[in-house]
């Protein structure tokens, strides 16, 4: 793996300057960033490539780049909320290979799973959109399973239609995860903060999390993400985001609370497992006075013991008496609002951002 990364480091990347993409706006807004900037800590360090995506804003417009996954062929699938092209497909050089999807005005979550050697996607539309006048609106969200060409396999039932939610409960899902047995977990992160479990055919099993549990540790607040953690093959667990609490909460596969991973000051998005590490985008962070500010995002990386080992774009992690101290955005200001991170098979990172001047994903090449 190291030799492969070394080879990639020495290769010359094609320039994206010929393309009139919104990444140009990012470069102007952040012209103080050095071209060869390296960020990260403790051996998890990365060279920043702001012009990785070879796309034009005129032909492939973006609003928010929400999430990205890599398929079995090494292609990178990104979901966004511009209905000109909800799904963009890249190779690892940033070349656009394909685009599709026009029916997800709130395209937000993207998960990939494999069945019988075939890859499938779960696309989450959280239900928020703008009408023809530009006014913000909302409706119940939707979760759709598709093949890699966008053919719809099925849609999961909305919880109100199967008696799982009361009429007054909100359903604005943000993320999904797929278990080894095919069960699907849906995080209702902008709605009622439940994690809903379905079987592989879309039949409802249970829900957990939410609010007002007898033990407040069971509660979730902005359950923005969920992942099945199989690093311990004999004891898979669910890691759920509780973003407003700046933490991840770990549950059994049937929804029993186990423990919390506190990440002071970090408003983390979905957890992403790659190898023995956990990666996450940080949408906002707090300043020294404890105030949450816009444009203060970065990434964070945790090891197999769920200890932070690197925070690219943020300050180095500091532990005192075993407790992680609040982490702030560093002076590089590379990111505005880190929303997701995809780790490729060379351990490079691709960072999707929300509310970042319509910029495409940023590549971080492992050094």
Would you state the pLDDT for residue 36? 87
What pLDDT digit, counting tens, does each position of 53-63 carry? 999 999 999 99
Would you state the pLDDT for residue 315? 98
Block means of pLDDT (10 residues each) for the chain, length 367 residues?
Answer: 46 35 44 74 98 96 98 98 98 98 98 97 97 92 98 98 97 99 99 99 98 98 99 98 99 99 98 99 93 97 98 98 97 98 98 98 99
DSSP 266-320: EEE---EEETTEEEEEEEEEE-TTS-EESS--EEEEE-TTS-EEE-TTBPPP-EE
What pLDDT digit, counting tens, does each position of 122-154 carry? 999 999 998 889 899 999 999 999 999 999 999
Q: Which residues pair with 260 in a beta bridge?
A: 249
Query: Does the domain formed by 2-11+19-366 have CATH 2.120.10.30?
Result: yes
Would you state the pLDDT for residue 35? 62
| Residues 329, 286 contacting (CB under 8 angstroms) | no
């Amino acid at each position: 793996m190291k030799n492969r990364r070394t080879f990639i480091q020495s290769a010359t990347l094609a320039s994206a300057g010929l393309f009139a993409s919104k990444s140009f706006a990012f470069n102007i807004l952040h012209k103080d960033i050095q071209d060869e900037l390296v960020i990260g800590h403790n051996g998890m360090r990365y060279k920043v490539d702001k012009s990785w995506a070879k796309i034009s804003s005129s032909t492939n417009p973006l609003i928010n780049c929400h999430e990205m996954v890599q398929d079995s062929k090494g292609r990178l699938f990104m979901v966004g909320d511009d209905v000109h092209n909800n799904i963009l497909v890249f190779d690892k050089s940033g070349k656009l290979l394909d685009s599709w999807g026009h029916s997800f005005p709130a395209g937000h979550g993207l998960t990939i799973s494999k069945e019988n050697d075939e890859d499938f996607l779960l696309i989450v539309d959280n239900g928020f959109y703008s009408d023809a006048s530009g006014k913000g609106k909302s409706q119940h969200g939707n979760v759709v399973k598709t093949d890699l060409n966008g053919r719809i396999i099925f849609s999961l039932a909305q919880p109100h239609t199967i008696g799982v939610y009361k009429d007054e409960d909100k359903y604005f899902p943000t993320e999904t995860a797929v278990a080894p047995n095919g069960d699907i977990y849906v995080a209702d992160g902008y709605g009622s903060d439940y994690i809903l479990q379905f079987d592989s055919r879309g039949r409802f099993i249970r829900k957990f999390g939410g609010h007002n549990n007898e033990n407040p540790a069971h509660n979730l607040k902005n359950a923005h993400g969920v992942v099945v953690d199989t690093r311990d093959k004999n004891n898979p667990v669910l890691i759920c985001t509780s973003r407003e609490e700046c933490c991840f909460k770990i549950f059994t596969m049937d929804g029993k609370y186990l423990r919390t991973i506190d990440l002071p000051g970090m408003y983390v998005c979905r957890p992403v497992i790659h190898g023995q590490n956990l990666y996450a985008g940080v949408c906002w962070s707090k300043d020294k006075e404890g105030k949450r500010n816009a444009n203060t995002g970065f990434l964070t990386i945790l090891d197999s013991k769920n200890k932070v080992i690197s925070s690219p774009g943020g300050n180095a992690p500091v532990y005192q008496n075993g407790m992680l101290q609040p982490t702030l955005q560093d002076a590089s200001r590379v990111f505005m609002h880190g929303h997701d991170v995809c780790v490729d098979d060379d351990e490079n990172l691709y960072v999707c951002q929300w509310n970042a001047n319509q910029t495409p994903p940023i590549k971080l090449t492992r050094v």
